[in-house]
A and B are shown apart, each in its own frame.
Chain A
Amino acid sequence: MAAPETSTAAVPSLYTNNALRNAFGGVLSFFILLLIGVMAFSIRLFSVIKYESVIHEFDPYFNYRVTQFLAKNGIYEFWNWFDDRTWYPLGRVIGGTVYPGLTLTAGTIWWLLNSLNIPLSVETVCVFTAPIFSALASWATFLLTKEVKGTGAGLTAAALLAMVPSYISRSVAGSYDNEAVAIFALIFTFYLYIKTLNTGSLFYATLNSIAYFYMVCSWGGYTFIINLIPMHVLLCIVTGRFSSRLYIAYAPLVVLGTLLAALVPVVGFNAVMTSEHFASFLVFIILHVVAFVYYIKGILSPKMFKVAVTLVVSVGLAVCCAVIAVLIALVASSPTKGWSGRSLSLLDPTYASKYIPIIASVSEHQPPTWPSYFMDINVLAFLVPAGIVACFSPLSDSSSFVVLYIATSVYFSGVMVRLMLVFAPAACITSGIALSQSFDVFTRSIKFQLPGISSNTEVDAAETSSATAEAQNDAVKTEKSEETSKNRPSKKSKKKEKEEKPSTKAKAEKRLIALPLDSSVISLLLLILLGAFYVVHCVWAAAEAYSAPSIVLTSHSHDGLHVFDDFREAYAWLRHNTDVDDKVASWWDYGYQTTAMANRTVIVDNNTWNNTHIATVGTAMSSPEKAAWEIFHSLDVKYVLVVFGGLVGYPSDDINKFLWMVRIGGGVFPHIKEPDYLRDGQYRIDSQATPTMLNCLMYKLSYYRFVETDGKGFDRVRQTEIGKKYFKLTHFEEVFTTHHWMVRIYKLKPPKNRIRGKTKKSKSKTSSASSRAKRSGMGKKNPWH
C-alpha cells in the first residue's frame, strides 16, 4: 500500500515541479547569461592587466582621436570636421569618410557618464568599449541561437562566442576598432531577422532595419548582411518556403534599411548605386513577383492560372531580358564593374595582388593559413560540421539561415584573414548547436539507462520528454507564433511541417534512446574534455597571443621583463620637441599613430584612400637621397620617421615593408622599377644587394651609423651583415633615435644658400636638367612639381 500512496503524493507535485523547473531554468539561464557577459568582458582585460590601459595598434588610434574630437567639439562639428593634420596637403573630410558607429557609441557612453558626473576620460571609455560590446555580442548570440535551436544551444553558443579567440583578437580592451562594435551589430541584426522570420511581426522588422542601420554606421562589412539576407530569402523562395513572414522579414529591411543606410555620409548614394547592394534589390523584386503569383494563384482556378502563367512568362521574359541587358551594359561600363576594390578582391582573391598592391600589402587582407584556423576558432572547427548536420534535423527557416551564414562566411574567411571575424560567430552558433544537441542526447540516454532509477523509467521518461520539450520549445516556436499571430498564411505548408515534425522528433527520440550507457558516458567526458581544451586555448590566446598592444613590446630575458617602449618615446619626442605645424613623413602604417600620439601633420596614413599620395611617399623612400629630399621638400616635410628593427630584432620594420613601398611607388611612378631592388628575386640588404637598394633613402635612414654599434653592422632581423656600412647623409640629419633604435627621426636639411653655392648650383643644375630630361622620358615622377 505504501508504494501507491507515495506515488500519488508525487503526482500533483509533478506538475508544480515542472512549473518550478521552468521558473528555475529561467533564473538559471539568466544568471548563466550574466556570467557569460562577465566572462566575455573580463577575458579581454588581460591586456590592461599585463600591459596597461592604452589604445592598441594603428586604426584604434585614429578612432580614439576622432572620439576625442567628438567629445570636445560635439556632433555637428564632427560631421563637418575637415582634418588638416593628415594627408597633407590634401587633408581629409573625417565626417564624410568614417563609419561613425563606433565613435558615436563611445562618444555617447562618455557623454552619458559625464552627465552623471562620473568623470571618466575619453581614453578609458574607448579602451573598454570593445569588451563591453563583446559581452553584448555574446548575449545577441544567445538570442540568435535561441531563435534557431532553443535555450540550451543559445547558452552554449553564447559561452563559446564570449571567448572565441578570433573575436578576442579584435576586441581586447584597448582594441578600439570598428569590428568590436560591428560584430555585435551583425549578430543582433541577424537575430532580429530570424525573430521577424519566426514571428512575422512588423515591430521586429522595424527593429531589424534600425539594427541594420547601426551596422551600416559601424563597419563596411554591412555589405555581408545585405547580401546574405537576400541569399537566404532566395533560398527560402526556391525551396518553397515562401510565406508572408518572409515578406515581412525582408521587404521592410530593404526599404527602410536602404533609406537609413543612405543617411550615413560615408555610404550615401552608394546604398543604391554600387553592385554590393544590387542583390538585395533583385531579390526584393523577385519576392514581390512571387508574392503576386501566390496571390493570383489564390484567386484564379488552376486552369486559368496556367493560362495566365504562360501569358505572363512570355511577356515578362522579354521585358526582363531587356532590363537585364541594360543593367549589364550599365554595370559593365564602369571599370570595376561597380564593385569596390575590397569587395572585388573577395570575389576574385587574385584581384588585389594583380591590380591594387595597397590592398594586398595589408597583412590582414592576406588569405589565412590552416594553422590560423586552429588558432582562431580552435575546436570549433571540428564541431561546425556536426552543427550543420544538427541544423538539418529538422531544417527550418532559421536553421537554413545558419547553414547559409556559415557556408558563405567560411568562403570569405578563406579569402581574407580579417574576415575570420565574421566566420567566428557562425562557427560559435553551429558549434553551440552541435554541443548542446549532443549533450542533450548523451545525458538523456544516461538518464534512461542508469540502473538506480530503472524501476521508474516511465516517470523519468515523462519527465525527460517534458524536459526535452522545454529545450526544444523554441525550435517549434515557429508554429506557436504562427498560431498566435492573426494572419495565418499558407496553412497547408505549416500543417505539413507540423505533422512531420513531431513524427521526426519521435523517431529521433526513439533512435537516441538506444545509445548505450558506457559509450554515452565516455562521449560526454570527451566532450567536456574538448570544451576544457577550448577554454584553456582561449584563455591562453587572450592572455598571450592577442593582448599585446603592439605599441609596447616586451621580451623575457634572464633578468626579467624587458620593455621596448620606443614608439611612444619617438611620438612623445615629436610632440614636445617639434613645432606644432611641422610635417612628418613616414610610411602610411604610422600615420594614425603619429597624428594621434604626436599631434603632428602626416603625409599619408592608414586610411589609404589616395594611392598616388602613398606612391609618392613610397617613391621618396625608394629614391636616392637627393631625389627623396626634393620630393619631401616639395611636400613641405620637415621630419622623416623610419622604423628600424635591425638592432633588437623587431621584424615588422620598414625594411621588411620596403617591397610594398617599391611596388606601390612603382605602380604610379614607373621610374621606380622593382627589379632594380631585387637580387635573384629577393630584397637583400647584404653585400649582394643591388646598388639602387643600397642608395635608396630607406636603406640609408635605417642603417645610418648602424655599423658603429657593433663594428660589423649585423642586422638581427635579416640575420646578415649590411651591404653598405659607412656612408654619410647629405640632405638629412639625424635628430632623434629611440633607445632601442626602433624609431629613427631625421630632419630635412634646409635648402642650400643660393649665393654661397653658386658654383655648385650650376653643376647641380646641369645634373638636374639631365635628370629632368630622363624624367620626361620616363613619365611623371613627382606630382608636386
Chain B
Amino acid sequence: MAISRYVLLVFTIAMLASTALSDPILTKVDRRIYLTSQIVRIASTLKVENPGPLIMSEVLLAFPELQAKNLAYLMASSHESKGKAKGSVVSLPIKAVNLNDRPSALTFYSVILPKELAAGESFTLDVLAAFTHALRPVPEKITQADIQLVLYGDSVYYLSPYEVKVQSLSVKLPDSKIESYTELENTKVHGSEIKYGPYENLPPFSNSPIAFHFQSNLPFAVAEELVREIEISHWGNVQVTEHYKLIHGGAKIKGEFSRLDFQARPNDRGASAFSFLVAHLPARAHSVYYRDLIGNISTSHLRGDSKKTELMIEPRYPMLGGWRTAFTIGYGLPLQDFLYESEGNRFLNMTFGSPMIELAIDTLILKVVLPEGSSDISAAAPFPIKQWRETKISHLDIGGRPVVVLEKTNVVPEHNQYFQVYYKFSGLSMLREPLMLISGFLFFFAACIGYMHADTSISKSSASYLAKQQWEEVQVLIHKVQNVISRCLATHDNLEASLRDLSRTGDVQACKAARKYADGLLKELSKEMKPLLTSLQAYPSAAQILPKVEELVAKERELQEKVMLKHSTAVEGYERKSGARDIDHRVALLQQKITALKQEVDDLLQFIDDII
C-alpha cells in the first residue's frame, strides 16, 4: 500500500511537472444526459489517447462549481469490461485533486487508469456522474392546476482540461413536452430526446451554455434526513429501522389545495404530486411496519418473492410541491443473510443507501448497533464517509451497545453498495442477558425465602414477641384439642353408622364389637385430652379462649354420654327384640338432645376456629 502510494506520488509530481507538455487528448467523447428523474445522471464515454512522450496514468475530470456542489456520485470504469460482463463492472479509483494552476471555479477529480498508457496508446473510459438538486423548478411556485416545469443548464461542450477531438451530446427528457431549449448548430430533436453534435476539435475548457426548460411531473422525493438504524441480534435477526424526513423538492404549491380537484382530475390537478413510494427490501424481510409519530399509517402494500420484497407505501397525504412529511419504516432480516464470519472476525455486509426507488437523500446517517460486548470494531465503505462511535443502551444492557455511525451527504440510489462492519464477538456473551435475568429472579426468590424464614423482630425478650410466641404455642395446642374432638366426633359417627347397620342387618354382635372398639378409642382420646387441657391452662394468653375450650370439652363429653346411651338403648332394644318403632320412640328424645349438642359443639369448634 505504502509503496503504491509512493509510486503514485512520484507520478503525480512527474505529471505536474510536465502537464503542459503531455496532456492526453480525448479523441472521442460521447455524453448522454438523463433528465428522466429528479436525479440527473450524466454518462460519458471518453476515449483517451496519450500523445506525449511521457507515460500517462491518470485522467482528470472537471466539473464546474455549480455541478460539483450537487455531485452526489461519480464512477469511472473501463469501457471494455462493461462490454464483456455486465454484472462485474470494475470501478476505477477516483480522487479529488486540487490543482493550483487551474481555474478555481472548477473542481477536478482524477481517475487512475488500470494500466499506464504509453505514448500513442489509447484507453476508453466510462464515467457516470449523478447530481441531486440539479433540476430547478421554474416557476418556483405553482398552483395546483399548473404544470411543473424545471430548468436544467449545462454546457454543450464537454468540459475538460484536455483537447477534445470529436464529441457529441444527447439529452434525454421525461417526455416530449419541452417548453424551450437552446438551439445550436447540429441540434436534432427526436421526441423526448435532443441531440447535439458532433463537434470537432475543441480546445481545453471549451464552454457554451445550453438550457432546457421542460415539463417534469416525476416524483421529486427528497429525504432531507434519513437515519437508518441497523441492529444486530445474534439470536438471528437484523432489525432495520429507517426514519425519513421527506419533502417534495419540486415547485412549491401556492394557493388552495382542493381535494375535490385532486381526486377528480389527478392528472392535471396536482400532477406533480406523488402519493406513493416504492421500496425494494431484501428478500426474506419480515415484520415490516410503517408508522409515524402518531401511529400506524394504514396505507401500504407488501409483495414478496424469493428475490426481493417490494413495499409500496403511501404517505398520510399526497405530497404536493414543498410539502413535508416524516415517517418510519422498519423490518427484520434473517441474520445469516447478512452476517459472515472470517478468521474469528464477524462482519456485517449490507447495502448502504435507502431501499426507496429514486430517492435523493440530503443527509444519510447510518447507525449499526452491534451487540453488547463487541470489540475491535471497524467499518469499511466503498466511498469516502464520515464515521464515529456512539453507545446505545437498550434492553437489559449494562455497558451499552457499541454503535458505528456513518454519515454521508447527497446520497443517490447508486450508493446502494455493500459496506462492511467488522467486529469480534464471543458467542458466550449472547447468554449474558438471559443469565442475568435468571440470576435476578433467583436472587429475588431467594430473598423472598430468606425474608419468610428470617425473624425480623427487634428484641427476643420483648413482651409482644413473647406473647406472640405463646400465642403460637396456644394455637398448636388448640389445634391438637380440635383434632381430638374431631376424632371423637368421627367415632360417634361410626357408632351411629353401626346402629344403622344394625337396623339393616340385625347383626347385634358386630354392633357390640363396634361399641367396644369405640369405647376403647374414646377412652384413649380422653386420656390424650387431659394433658392438653392442663398445659393450655398454663398459658396466660389462652385465658380468653380457655373457657370456650373447656365448654367444648364438656359439651363433647355430654354428647359422648348421650350417644353411648342411645347406642346401648338401641342395642338393648334389639336384643329384646322390641319393634323398631318402639326403639325409635325411646331413642327419639335422646336423638333430639344429640343433634342439639352436636350443633353446639360445631358452633364452638367454629368459634374457636375463628379466633385462631
Enumerate chain A interface residues (CB-CB to B < 8 A).
Answer: 1, 3-4, 7-8, 10-12, 14-15, 52, 54, 116-119, 455-456, 458-459, 462, 465, 469, 473, 476-477, 479-480, 483-484, 502, 506, 551-552, 563, 565, 568-569, 571-573, 575-577, 597, 705, 708-709, 733-739, 741
B346 within 8 A of A: no
Is A469 within 8 A of B606, CB to CB? yes
With a CB–CB cut-off of 8 A, which chain A residues contact B518?
A: 4
Q: How far, in angstroms, from A529 to B429 measured CA to CA in the complex?
A: 55
With a CB–CB cut-off of 8 A, which chain B residues contact A571?
A: 294
Q: Which of B259, B396, B483, B501 contacts A15 (CB 8 A)?
A: B483
With A7-B493, A14-B486, A709-B260 already in contact, the answer to whether A568 and B294 are too (CB < 8 A) is: yes
Q: How far, in angstroms, from A126 to B395 measured CA to CA in the complex?
A: 19
**CB-contacts of B464-507 with A (<8 A):** 482-483, 486-487, 489-491, 493-494, 496-498, 500-501
Is B317 within 8 A of A569, CB to CB? yes
Q: How far, in angstroms, from A7 to B496 measured CA to CA in the complex?
A: 12
Enumerate chain B interface residues (CB-CB to A < 8 A).
Answer: 255-260, 264, 292-299, 316-317, 323-326, 393-398, 482-483, 486-487, 489-491, 493-494, 496-498, 500-501, 510, 513-514, 517-518, 521, 544, 599, 602-603, 606-607, 609-611
Is A576 within 8 A of B260, CB to CB? no
Is B501 within 8 A of A3, CB to CB? yes
Of the A-B pairs whose beta carbons lie under 8 Å apart in the complex, a sample of 25, sorted by A's number, is A3-B498, A8-B490, A8-B494, A10-B490, A11-B487, A14-B486, A15-B482, A15-B486, A54-B295, A455-B497, A462-B486, A480-B610, A484-B611, A502-B603, A502-B606, A506-B599, A575-B293, A576-B325, A734-B256, A734-B257, A734-B258, A735-B256, A737-B257, A737-B260, A739-B259
CB distance from A690 to the nearest CB of B (A): 27
With A502-B607, A577-B323 already in contact, the answer to whether A572 and B259 are too (CB < 8 A) is: no
Beyond A4-B497, A462-B489, A473-B609, 11 additional contacts (C-beta under 8 Å) are A7-B493, A8-B494, A8-B517, A14-B486, A14-B487, A118-B395, A456-B497, A484-B611, A568-B294, A572-B325, A736-B257
Write the chain A residue with the least CB distance to B289.
A52
With A469-B606, A480-B611, A734-B258 already in contact, the answer to whether A573 and B317 are too (CB < 8 A) is: yes
CB distance from A341 to the nearest CB of B (A): 33
With A477-B610, A568-B295, A736-B317 already in contact, the answer to whether A7 and B393 are too (CB < 8 A) is: no
Name A's interface SS. helix
Is B498 within 8 A of A4, CB to CB? yes
Write the chain B residue with the least CB distance to A51.
B296
Is A458 within 8 A of B493, CB to CB? yes
Is B394 within 8 A of A705, CB to CB? no
Is A1 within 8 A of B396, CB to CB? no
With a CB–CB cut-off of 8 A, which chain A residues contact B394?
A: 117, 119
Q: Which of B393, B498, B606 contacts A117 (CB 8 A)?
A: B393
CB distance from A714 to the nearest CB of B (A): 15
CB distance from A630 to the nearest CB of B (A): 22
With a CB–CB cut-off of 8 A, which chain B residues contact A459?
A: 490, 493
Name B's interface SS. helix
Q: How far, in angstroms, from A733 to B255 measured CA to CA in the complex?
A: 8
Is B602 within 8 A of A465, CB to CB? yes
CB distance from A638 to the nearest CB of B (A): 15
Q: Which of B296, B395, B599 contacts A52 (CB 8 A)?
A: B296
Is B611 within 8 A of A737, CB to CB? no
Write the chain B residue with the least CB distance to A54.
B295
With a CB–CB cut-off of 8 A, which chain A residues contact B602?
A: 462, 465
With A4-B494, A572-B316 already in contact, the answer to whether A735 and B257 are too (CB < 8 A) is: yes
Write the chain B residue with the least CB distance to A733.
B256
Q: How far, in angstroms, from A576 to B521 measured CA to CA in the complex?
A: 91
Is B323 within 8 A of A576, CB to CB? yes
With A502-B607, A734-B257 already in contact, the answer to whether A4 and B517 are too (CB < 8 A) is: yes
With a CB–CB cut-off of 8 A, which chain A residues contact B294?
A: 54, 568, 571-572, 597
Is A738 within 8 A of B259, CB to CB? yes
Write the chain A residue with the least CB distance to B258.
A734
Q: How far, in angstroms, from A739 to B494 measured CA to CA in the complex?
A: 84
Q: How far, in angstroms, from A484 to B545 measured CA to CA in the complex?
A: 11
Write the chain B residue with the least CB distance to A741.
B259
Q: Which of B256, B297, B397, B609 contacts A469 (CB 8 A)?
A: B609
Q: How far, in angstroms, from A11 to B484 measured CA to CA in the complex?
A: 10
Could you say which of A465, A708, A733, A739 has the most chain B C-beta atoms within 10 Å of its C-beta? A739
Q: How far, in angstroms, from A11 to B323 measured CA to CA in the complex?
A: 86
Is A565 within 8 A of B316, CB to CB? yes
Is A565 within 8 A of B298, CB to CB? yes
CB distance from B488 to the nearest CB of A (A): 9
Is B607 within 8 A of A119, CB to CB? no
CB distance from B181 to the nearest CB of A (A): 34
CB distance from B35 to the nearest CB of A (A): 28
Could you say which of B297, B323, B599, B606 has the most chain A C-beta atoms within 10 Å of its C-beta? B606
